Chains A and B, each alone.
Chain A
Amino acid sequence: MKNKGFINKIIPFSNVDGPGNRLAIFFQGCNINCVYCHNSETINQCIHCMDCVVNCPTGAIKAWEGKIIYDEKRCTECDQCIRTCKHSASPRIKEYSVEELYEIIEGYHPFIRGITVSGGEPTLQADFIIELFKRVKTLGLSCFVDTNGFFDTEQIKELIHVTDKFMIDIKAIDKIEALCGCQMKNNLENLQYLLSLHKVYEVRTVIALDYIDVENTLCKVAHSLKHYPEVLYKLIPLHITGLNAQQKAKIQGKIPSKEYMEALKEKVEKLGVKEVEINSFSTR
């Protein structure tokens, strides 16, 4: 099997990546770079610069003939390598064949109702995922894609065909370049296309003050969703957990208040969206 997938992590049981209990696969590589990205180590592929090798406290990362070797057993997931990396990558990426992933999924299949591919941006590895989904469907499992919304529908036509539902971010409508560092602007259009196919499970927007035109973004999404009462709209307040110092500096003061989030929820509901959820939890 020559088709390989580059994978950052597999979470066998997840209840936040679609309906029911699901196995979530996080693919490596992203086509955008958001200021508040909580997983910036998933953005690029490892270039084997070796910077992380010396900093690894347990010797889980080693150099061999110009390449990184990663020993999972010695790794304590202290994340020193991720903090060292200047390329928004990780030395802990694993390559899987479809068959290898299938075997892992098969082992969990009685306990899950489906799989969800996430990332990074999984549509960048569409060919691999198409093959994976076709194989996984033989187990009777549903297949979801969690995407940032920036893709070419023509290019991933077959992926859309084999995918049961998408979970899609609408990061912003305006100011996309400043927020996501990308030229693409087709996220809303893509959402509308997937909605017309009845292939959307949920839409999400992270509320980062000033970085997005909250008003415009929410109105546009609400307008699209009001004819699809089954689709959930999740509003996620920006938060700083897991961000590096630079990122934290950039989002200083951009965190919305609880009251503001509640007001947004009410507003979106008034615009006709049936299922709206604020996804935040407070510490005790």
Chain B
Amino acid sequence: MQSKISDIMDIATSRSLTYQQKLFNLANVAERLLDPREVLGYTDTEMMYIENEMICDLNEGYTLYRPRYIVPDYYVLLSKGCDFLGLKPPIDLDELLDSLLILYRHIPSITSFPVFVGDLDKLMEPFITEEEKDYIKIKRFLNHIDKAIPDSFCHGDIGPEKTRAGELILRAAIELENPTPNMTLRYDKDKTSKDFALKAVDACLRVSKPSFSNDKKYCKDMGDHRLVSCYNALPHGGGAYTLPRLRLGTIVKGVKSLEELLKDRLPKVTKAMATMMDKRIRFLVEESNFFQTSFLVKEGYIKRENFSAMFGMVGLADAVNYILEVEGLEETFGTSKRGDEIGHSILTVIQDVANSHEGIYSERTNNRYLLHAQVGASLSEEDSCNTPAHRIKVGQEPILPLHIRQAVPFHEYFVSGTGDLFAFDETYLNKPDAVLDIIEGAFSLGGRYITTYLHNTDLIRVTGYLVKKSEARKAGEGNAVLRDTDILGHGTNSIANVFERRLRKDEE
């Protein structure tokens, strides 16, 4: 969306933005002042889809001067150091962590903060000597990232193999309870040792990180990749030029049938997004001089040939619910068999259009732009009718077992990333092996990425007897029945989740 001159004054005089936020926002306004028809050569039709909000360009701007996401190969620092910053290859943990923090300051991205901070465990492992002393350093380093990179898209990876550094990182993450950096364990049951995986599950339940990626699947689809930003799977030593997204909940408005959506409207909008992406990438590669001037390229941290682009979508649930209503069904996406059919038919059309489009400067991914289940943003009123990615609308989710079975088949489309959030009740805190069973089950069915978190219910199912929903409900309401004793009864996962529905919140 283009910006207005008046935006400058609004930002400059805002009471709710910090100095740094004002600076970045003003830069962003500047990028969007120019008309993309003139700068990038958007057609009137393409522009119409931006203006009617069917396509959202996430305010990336029209004078692209750096890729949206950069995934540096930080191992270059270990072998060569960095000439541009005058850094020699580190010789101990102190030097490594210091050099990394310096480097982070110079990694561009759409937010101006690094979206990938490296394979934290593997970078540190060669320098681990005395675990307790090193632990203090690692913890301080992670805390520094949290305070100096105030951006929740900053992401570090660990695994798949267990390392001493990996264990220290998990320990520090639990102790710090910081939101940043985001973290993923690249999980492969044949490479990740069980005890390390269980520690990661425990951390995930306690502090909502790390998340779990299906490393086997992503390696097969993407080769050498890393998990960055929210849960984006992107080529290592490269990244993604751009990420616009289809607002399916907006695109669907006014169609008379599923057929009209699939045969007419959706292919038109989707094709327009692909051609816009071409124009954006062309400017970045051919006009901006980013790849000609960045020290990251010159010194081998990234290669232009390792970049691709992401084909985003949001609002599948809203589009499906609209069609279900058109078809006269009183069902909603997430608990409707027909709804899932409609959902898959929509994504198949998008996938077909994306896969038949010959992209540019994306040789790393066979000149194809990669589907991405975008997590959502609030940039417009339209975003309130576009549920993140292919997720079920909050309040319409089925119980956990059904939810997982519904969600996993949708992961298949999204080669450059998707993720589901599943809340577990407190009984799982002492049973990380049960959580791991569920994660492995999801991955065996082709699931790509799972985030779990603990939902604090007061309902604990102590042992193998049944819980009555009516009792659980009383407990959920804090009824006096529970205050009679401090030895509380129970709840079940399935029942707890019934109550969780209204409580569950998506990130961002």
Contact = CB atoms under 8 A, between A and B. Distances in A.
B482 A42 contact: no
B436 to A, nearest CB: 8
Nearest to A118: B464
Contacts of A9: 466
Nearest to A111: B441
A78 B461 CA distance: 19
A109 B458 CA distance: 29
B487 A255 contact: yes
B444 A110 contact: yes
A113 interface: yes
B489 A111 contact: no
B250 to A, nearest CB: 33
A214 B287 CA distance: 82
Contacts of B190: none
A20 B434 contact: yes
Contact of A16 (B444, B463, B489): B463
Name the residue in B399, B404, B471, B488 with the highest tally of chain A Cβ atoms < 10 Å from its Cβ.
B488
Contacts of B489: 38, 239-242
Given A111-B442, A255-B485, A26 B466 contact: yes
B482 to A, nearest CB: 5
Nearest to B482: A283
A237 B487 contact: yes
Contact of B471 (A15, A22, A241, A279): A241
A143 interface: no
B462 A280 contact: yes
A230 interface: no
B405 interface: yes
Interface in A67-94: 77-79, 82
Interface in A122-162: 146
B434 A242 contact: no
A8 interface: yes
A42 B441 CA distance: 31
Contact of A236 (B404, B428, B438, B463): B463
Interface string B475-494: 10000011111111110111
Interface in A2-21: 8-9, 11-17, 19-21
A143 B488 CA distance: 29
Contact of B481 (A118, A241, A255): A241
Given A11-B492, A11-B494, A204-B463, A111 B401 contact: yes
Contacts of A11: 492-494
A282 interface: yes
Interface in B61-76: none
B438 A77 contact: no
Nearest to B404: A111
B53 interface: no
Contacts of B436: 20
Contact of B469 (A77, A113, A239): A77
A144 to B, nearest CB: 10
A82 B468 contact: yes
B465 A111 contact: no
Contact of B464 (A24, A238, A258): A24
Contacts of B492: 11, 14
B41 to A, nearest CB: 49
B427 interface: yes
Interface string A260-278: 0000000000000000000
B358 to A, nearest CB: 37
A187 interface: no
A107 interface: yes
B466 A13 contact: no
* Interface size, A (range): 35 or more
A211 B146 CA distance: 56
B400 interface: yes
Interface string B418-441: 000000001110010111111011
Given A79-B470, A234-B463, A283-B458, A15 B483 contact: no
A16 B464 contact: yes
A241 to B, nearest CB: 3
A39 B434 contact: no
Contacts of A238: 487
B388 to A, nearest CB: 23
* Interface size, B (range): 35 or more
A154 to B, nearest CB: 25
Contacts of B444: 110
A282 B487 contact: yes
Interface string B384-405: 0000000000000001111011
Given A21-B437, A107-B405, A255-B487, A77 B463 contact: no
Given A9-B466, A20-B437, A281-B462, A15 B431 contact: yes
Contacts of B490: 241-242
Contact of B488 (A109, A111, A112, A280): A280
A231 to B, nearest CB: 15
Contacts of B317: none
Contact of A113 (B400, B437, B466, B471): B437
A108 interface: yes
Given A21-B434, A111-B404, A111-B438, A39 B487 contact: no
Contacts of A113: 437
Contact of A283 (B441, B465, B486): B486
B47 interface: no
A13 B485 contact: no
Interface string B214-247: 0000000000000000000000000000000000
A284 interface: yes
Contacts of B484: 240
A254 to B, nearest CB: 11
B404 A284 contact: no
A32 interface: no
Contact of B428 (A15, A19, A38, A78): A15
B434 A239 contact: no
A112 B441 contact: yes
B485 A239 contact: yes
A89 to B, nearest CB: 14
A111 B433 CA distance: 11
B433 A19 contact: yes
Nearest to B490: A241
B309 interface: no
A114 to B, nearest CB: 9
B460 interface: yes
A238 B484 CA distance: 13
A163 to B, nearest CB: 15
Contacts of A255: 485, 487
Would you list the 9 A-B pairs with minimal beta carbon distance, nearest first? A241-B489, A111-B441, A15-B434, A110-B441, A12-B401, A21-B437, A77-B469, A79-B470, A15-B431
15 contacts: A9-B466, A11-B492, A11-B494, A12-B401, A14-B493, A21-B441, A79-B468, A79-B470, A109-B441, A111-B441, A112-B441, A238-B487, A240-B485, A241-B481, A280-B487
Given A15-B493, A22-B434, A279-B463, 10 more contacts: A12-B402, A13-B434, A20-B431, A20-B436, A110-B441, A113-B437, A241-B490, A280-B487, A281-B426, A283-B486
